[in-house]
Amino acid sequence: MVSRQIKNVLVTGGAGYIGSHAVRRLLRAGYAVTVLDDLSSGYRIAVERSSAGLFQHARFVEGSISDRAVTVRLLRESGIDAVMHFAAFIEVGESVTDPAKYYENNFAGALQLMQAMNEAEVKKLVFSSTAAVYGNPLSTPISEEQPRMPINPYGRSKLMVELAIEDFAAAYGLGYAILRYFNVAGANPEGLIGEAHEPESHLIPRILDVACGKVDTIGIFGTDYPTPDGTCIRDYIHVEDLVDAHLLAMEAIHGGAGKVFNIGSESGFSVREVIEACAKVTGKSIPVLEKPRRLGDPAILVASSAKIRNELGWQRQRPDLETIAADAWAWYQRRSDLFTKRVA
Ligand SMILES: NC(=O)c1ccc[n+]([C@@H]2O[C@H](COP(=O)([O-])OP(=O)(O)OC[C@H]3O[C@@H](n4cnc5c(N)ncnc54)[C@H](O)[C@@H]3O)[C@@H](O)[C@H]2O)c1
């Protein structure tokens, strides 16, 4: 159901994993969608597939959020009412070795986008943040009130955007929703779109690489943590549930103020549980290689979703690990070579 206030939505990074799911969800709900993506890690075909079988199609514009003039024109000519901002670089390890790349794209790029919004008088922004802004949390599950103390440039680049958003709200009347999440997994249940990062650092697709024989083993870093099976516990959220939260949060933006919501699984899953779920849904054995703990890996990282549940009525429709793994596996098997950036 489309509200009267928001009809036209710009999705930055809509050719990427989460962005393309948001595009499909928005189209299904009747919004007109424009995608701005420079295809640095996304796929044009993901935008095409996100409209498959639907009455409305997304408009795709290849370009960067850093190009303010292009963005202003786009916002004006498409009559954009709200922006969902997913475009970013996401590799934590790379952000440590090449922080400039992350500050430039994730922070300076977002600043250009927000200035373009200001110029075009677009006053609603949903920002894709990350639970990495908390760094090593003081306690789990992590609530929104915990201090933001990121421990890597990726997390810091996202925190800088959050701070800029808060200042833009106070000074220019920007309305916003900041959503923080950890590990997004699963795929569109129709198998049309899904996760296709290169390099892939996320656990579930890496386990699926082992399941189909592309890689020999999956490493487990630390088996002596104070958790029930000794392996780290992390937060996994189905991408479809996540994009539901984005729509709810966008519709709840009113005036020049904003809210911050964690999108979490509350209890999380251990690395071994994830491997077992993938073994079950694929029917394959997953050889593991146990390794020592990695420096700086907390035993448990899980976010609370109490706030968004209570305030916006968000509920996870796909909370169980097997559904997440099964949808990821269905996509993985159907994923075509069109979703690769590797040169043969
Ligand atoms: N995947 C996760 O588990 C996860 C967890 C927490 C937060 N996030 C955040 O969610 C967002 C989306 O993540 P994803 O997994 O879909 O990543 P992704 O790499 O699949 O998608 C990012 C998209 O942004 C585009 N892009 C990058 N820089 C751009 C620019 N300057 N201009 C235009 N387009 C640009 C890329 O081409 C790509 O299509 C990111 O902001 C990320 O920080 C992701």
Mutate which of 24, 37, 129 for ligand 1 pocket (most atoms within 8 A of beta carbon): 37
**Cα–Cα dist 51/188, whole Å:** 12
Q: Is the CB of residue 39 below 6 angstroms from any atom belonging to ligand 1?
A: yes
Instruction: Select from 258, 262, 265, 260 the least CA-distant residue to 318.
Output: 265
At residue 288, does pLDDT exceed 80? yes
Q: What is the 3-state secondary structure (H, E, C) of the chain?
A: CCCCCCCEEEEECCCCHHHHHHHHHHHHCCCEEEEEECCCCCCHHHHHHHCCCCCCCCEEEECCCCCHHHHHHHHHHCCCCEEEECCCCCCHHHHHHCHHHHHHHHHHHHHHHHHHHHHHCCCEEEEEEEHHHHCCCCCCCECCCCCCCCCCHHHHHHHHHHHHHHHHHHHHCCEEEEEEECEEECCCCCCCCCCCCCCCCCHHHHHHHHHCCCCCCEEEECCCCCCCCCCCEECEEEHHHHHHHHHHHHHCCCCCCEEEEEECCCCCEEHHHHHHHHHHHHCCCCCEEEECCCCCCCCEECECCHHHHHHHCCCCCCCCHHHHHHHHHHHHHHCCHHHCCCCC
**Do the beta carbons of residue 103 and residue 150 sit within 8 Å?**
no
CA 296 to chain centre: 23
Report pLDDT digits (tens) over 248-275. 999 999 988 899 999 998 889 999 999 9
Residue 211, pLDDT score: 94
Q: Examine the pLDDT at 340 and tell me if it is beyond 90.
A: no
Report whether 182 contacts 237 (CB < 8 A).
yes
71 lines ligand 1 (CB under 6 A): no
Residue 242's identity, in one-letter code, is L
Residue 4: band (very low, low, confident or very high) from pLDDT cuts 50, 70, 90: low
105 lines ligand 1 (CB under 6 A): yes
What integer pLDDT is reported at residue 336 of this predicted model?
72
CA of 19 to the centre of ligand 1 (A): 7
Atom of ligand 1 nearest to the CA of 181: 6
- Whole-number Cα distances in Å, 12 to 47, 59, 317: 12, 12, 25
Task: State the angle between helix axes of 239-251 and 17-28 in degrees (0 to 180), rounded to the nearest 10.
Answer: 60
What would the mean pLDDT of 297-302 be, rounded to a whole number? 90
pLDDT (0 to 100) of residue 76: 98
Q: Is the CB of 42 within 6 Å of ligand 1?
A: yes
Identify which has the larger pLDDT, 234 or 340.
Answer: 234
CB 176 within 8 A of CB 296: no
User: Is 176 considered catalytic here?
Assistant: no
Question: pLDDT tens across 49-108, in order?
Answer: 999 999 999 999 999 999 999 999 999 999 999 999 999 999 999 999 999 999 999 999
Class of domain 8-188+236-264: alpha beta
- In the chain, what are the domain boundaries? 8-188+236-264
222 CA distance to ligand 1 middle (Å): 29
Please state, rounded to an integer, the average pLDDT across all residues of the chain. Answer: 94
Residue with CA at minimum distance from ligand 1 atom 31: 64
193, with CB counted inside 10 A (0-12, 13-18, 19+), is buried
Residue to mutate (ligand 1; options 21, 36, 40; most atoms within 8 A of CB): 40
Candidate list 17, 31, 134, 154, residue with the active-site label: 154
CA distance 84 to 6: 12
- The pLDDT of residue 267: 84
* Mean pLDDT calculated for residue range 176-187: 96
pLDDT tens digits for range 202-254: 999 999 999 999 999 999 999 999 999 999 999 999 999 999 999 999 999 99
Alpha carbon 16 to its chain's center: 9
Residue 339 binned pLDDT confidence (cut-offs 50, 70, 90): confident
With the most atoms of ligand 1 within 8 angstroms of its CB, the residue from 18, 142, 158 to mutate is: 18
**109 within ligand 1 shell (Cβ under 6 A):** yes
Q: What pLDDT, on a 0 to 100 scale, did the predictor assign at position 200?
A: 84
Task: Give pLDDT, residue 338.
Answer: 73
State if residue 205 touches ligand 1 by the CB under 6 angstroms criterion: no
For the Cβ of 196 lying below 6 angstroms from any atom of ligand 1, the answer is no
Whose CA is closest to atom 5 on ligand 1?
182
Total Cβ atoms within 10 A of residue 104: 14
pLDDT (average), residues 129-145: 94
Say if ligand 1 is within 6 A of residue 18 CB. yes
CA–centroid distance, residue 89 to ligand 1 (Å):
6
pLDDT of residue 178: 98
**Residue 225 amino acid letter:** Y
Arithmetic mean of pLDDT, 32-37: 98
Of ligand 1's listed atoms, the one at least distance from the Cα of 14 is 39
| pLDDT for residue 341 is more than 90 | no
Candidates 317, 312, 302, 300; CA nearest to 260 is 312
90 lines ligand 1 (CB under 6 A): yes
